[in-house]
Structure 1
Amino acid sequence: MSVIAIVGAGSLMGRAIARRFAAGGFDVALIARNPGALKSIADDIPDVRTGIFPADITDRKALSQALSEAEESLGPIEVLEFSPTPRPADLAVSPFTDAIGTTVETLAPHVELHLYGSVAAVQQVLPGMIERGAGTVLLTAGAVSSRMVVPGITNVSIAVSALRSYALNLNAGLAGTGVYAAHVSIAANIGQGRPGSEPDAIAEEYWKLHVARDQADFYYEDLSDGPVTLSDRYSD
């Protein structure tokens, strides 16, 4: 059976993506800091094997080990989905800043989480994907990674824009290998009641990307009740 690893698995999108891929026949590996939260998600995924592998995404050694353990337990990872979210404690140390207030110190933790974390996760599973000639890498960010400008979170915007660049260059570099990579940018207040912002609706788009493999830069915008003004990626 195929395996999806969800890095940064949260109660909204992480849960929904896990359930959608499980419905498609995937076993599920859940990776994030909180074992209790991961167990809650795992308990909500029926009919497939589900493993929880706690790790701090900013601890690259621990992240690599978690992914290695996931493959040992469940089998080769066919799909890697990466969607980390800062904890309130992280934001207390490195709060959101505007362009004027952005410094190396306020930027570095977000680069560590989004960019270095994604590179570390990808590099752990990519050699196996290339060897097998098949694989999907989906790197997730909010709308500020591409089309939306929100000056109050400039430091995060810089970090997730770098993640987007990595995903696009990765996909181009993987041409002909059978491995596909995409950046997913979500312009939606996730789980706040709008039909197009429900996690299950967005998770369906992840499944379509994996199946069709036709877009390297996917922008999801919830227009169900008019334009969205700010992505709520950081509530997951």
Structure 2
Amino acid sequence: MATWFITGCSSGLGRQLAITALAAGFNVVVTARNPATLQDVAASYPKNALVASLDVTNEMMIKKVVKQAEQRFGAIDVLINNAGYGYRAAVEEGDSNQVANLFATNFFGAVSMIKAVLPGMRARHCGTIVNITSIGARLAMPGSAYYSATKFALEGLSDALRKEVDPLGIRVLIVEPGAFRTDFAGRSLVGSKTMISDYDETVGPRRKTQDKTDGTQPGDPARAAKVLLSYSQIWCMSIF
């Protein structure tokens, strides 16, 4: 049975995907910065769920959890890079530390995860890496320049990575979600404290303090998880 490793499972798409994969019988490494949010998942699937604390900006933690996963399940077959969050600010308003932290999670966190699982996938000439990007990687909106930049960067890396590892039997896919009922517009959205009035018309309506979309988005994470799972036969083709 294939083993999935999913980051950012405390809520939203990551949590739904983990539950859906577990219900389908897959082994799943279910991770979040606060594993207490996942205890119900661990209790429901004690045999094939490995719940672990993971901050993707911490390379030592990544290596530790990847090692735990390999010791428990033997190999990581599918990596889902889902951890990430949103950031709203005009380019001029962007706080340097906040932007650095955003890239550390959304882009470099995914890079660190990829580098941690690739040795095992290369050794088996088998595996799939799925990078969750965003519709914002195709269309950058006012106030979301930095967030879109992290997703554009991840898609550019994914395209090159795909060409590097395809001859080795490893697949690389990207998924570009639109508006889903997750915590993206709530807990998982950060905004700059600097607000320049000249940007009120363009960026103003999209500032965190003005965004009222949380919980009203049209996309259903549970349905999205089922769609993603439907591709698992393709992702794990050489495993079954």
Query: Structure 1 length normalisation: TM-score?
Result: 0.77
Gaps in structure 2 of 5+ consecutive residues: 183-214, 236-240
**1:26·1:48 contact (CA, 8 Å) conserved in 2?**
no
Amino acid at match of 1:187: G
Instruction: Give the Cα separation in 2 of the matches to 1:11 and 1:41.
Output: 12
Secondary structure of 2:107 counterpart: helix
**Against the structure 1 CA distance between its residues 210 and 177, is the aligned structure 2 distance closer, same or farther, given a 3 Å change threshold?**
farther
CA distance in 2, matches of 1:106, 1:177: 37
Cα shift at 1:119: 0.9
Matches within 5 A, 1:99-118: 99-102=91-94, 104-118=96-110
- Contact map agreement 1:5 1:29 (CA 8 A) in 2: yes
Alignment of 1:41 with 2:41, yes or no, is: yes
Correspondences of 1:11-90 after superposition (within 5 Å): 11-44=11-44, 46=45, 48-86=47-85
Counterpart CA distance in 2 for 1:38 and 1:169 is: 34
In structure 1, stretches of 5+ residues that fail to align are 214-236
Identity of aligned residues (%): 24
> How far does residue 104 in structure 1 lie from its aligned partner after superposition?
4.3
1:167 paired residue number: 158
Deviations 1:86-122 (A, max 9, x none): 4xxxx8xxx5322232364342111110111111111
Distance 1:5 1:66 in 2: 10
**Distance in 1 (alpha carbons) for counterparts of 2:103 and 2:123:** 29
Alpha-carbon shift at residue 48 of structure 1 (Å) = 4.7
Would the aligned equivalents of 1:27 and 1:49 in 2 still touch at CA under 8 Å? yes
Q: Is 1:129 the equivalent of 2:117?
A: no
Q: Is the 8 A contact 2:22 2:49 kept in 1?
A: no
State the structure with more CA Rg.
2
Q: Is the 8 A contact 2:107 2:154 kept in 1?
A: yes
The AA in structure 1 aligned to 2:79 is: L
Whether the 8 Å CA contact 1:22–1:48 is kept in 2: the answer is no
Higher relative contact order (CA 8 A, sep 6+): 2
Number of matched residues? 203
The residue that corresponds to 1:5 in the other structure is 5
Distance 1:209 1:166 in 2: 22
1:139 alignment partner AA:
N
Superposed CA offset, 1:111-166 (max 9, x none): 11011111111111111112112111111123212x23222121111112111111
When the two chains are superposed, the root-mean-square deviation of aligned CA atoms in Å is 2.2
Shift of 1:73: 1.8
Amino acid at match of 1:85: G
